[in-house]
């Protein structure tokens, strides 16, 4: 396993303040329900901690349904009750944050590289319109 993958995980506890039975689930992965081999964690998570390279989407019902709450890298939630999610999570998606952040640029970097991350819909400057081809005309000129 690569190091990046090993930092993509979520840790969950049955009690708030990171107490009680504990489980670490490695991603990237998605669980339609939390009735895991050996232990049923459905409606049982009261506190959690996200690994340094993970985003987590947690859903109130099985099959990624009902209300959803998202957590970012290194986020810790000592009491899911504050989000009204204590003993409620029934399905989760654990996403590798590295793969997402690799492809994000800050606006400063975009300015430096001159890359365009915004496409104008201004009709006076069409982006997909036919472009004038200069190669042919220059070749004709050379032929003279």
Residues lying near Ca ion in the complex (CB under 5 A) are found at 43, 60, 88, 90
Residues 83 and 77: their CA atoms lie apart, in Å, by 9
* CB nearer Ca ion, residue 5 or residue 60: 60
Please identify which residue in the block is written with the tokens 């400057």: 125
Phi, psi of 136 (to 5 degrees): -65, -45
Q: In whole angstroms, how close is the CB of 60 to Ca ion at the nearest point? A: 5
* CB nearer Ca ion, residue 39 or residue 110: 39
Q: In whole angstroms, how close is the CB of 62 to Ca ion at the nearest point? A: 8
Q: In whole angstroms, how close is the CB of 58 to Ca ion at the nearest point? A: 10
Helices (H) and strands (E) in the chain, counts: 4, 10
* CB nearer Ca ion, residue 86 or residue 90: 90
Pairing outcome for strands 39-40 and 35-36? antiparallel
Eight-state DSSP code of residue 128: S
The residue whose Cβ lies closest to Ca ion is: 90
């Amino acid at each position: 396993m690569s190091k990046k993958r090993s930092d993509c995980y979520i840790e969950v506890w049955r009690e708030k303040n990171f107490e009680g039975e504990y489980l670490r689930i490695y991603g990237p992965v998605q669980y339609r329900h939390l009735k895991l081999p050996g232990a049923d964690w459905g409606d049982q998570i009261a506190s959690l901690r996200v690994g340094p390279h993970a985003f987590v989407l947690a859903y109130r019902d099985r099959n990624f349904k009902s209300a959803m709450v998202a957590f970012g890298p290194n986020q810790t939630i000592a009491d899911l009750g504050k989000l009204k999610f204590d003993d409620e999570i029934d399905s989760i998606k654990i996403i590798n944050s590295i793969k997402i952040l690799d492809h994000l640029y800050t606006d400063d970097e975009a300015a430096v590289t001159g890359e365009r991350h915004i496409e104008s819909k201004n009709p006076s400057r069409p982006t997909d319109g036919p472009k004038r081809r200069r190669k042919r005309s220059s070749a004709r000129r050379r032929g003279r």
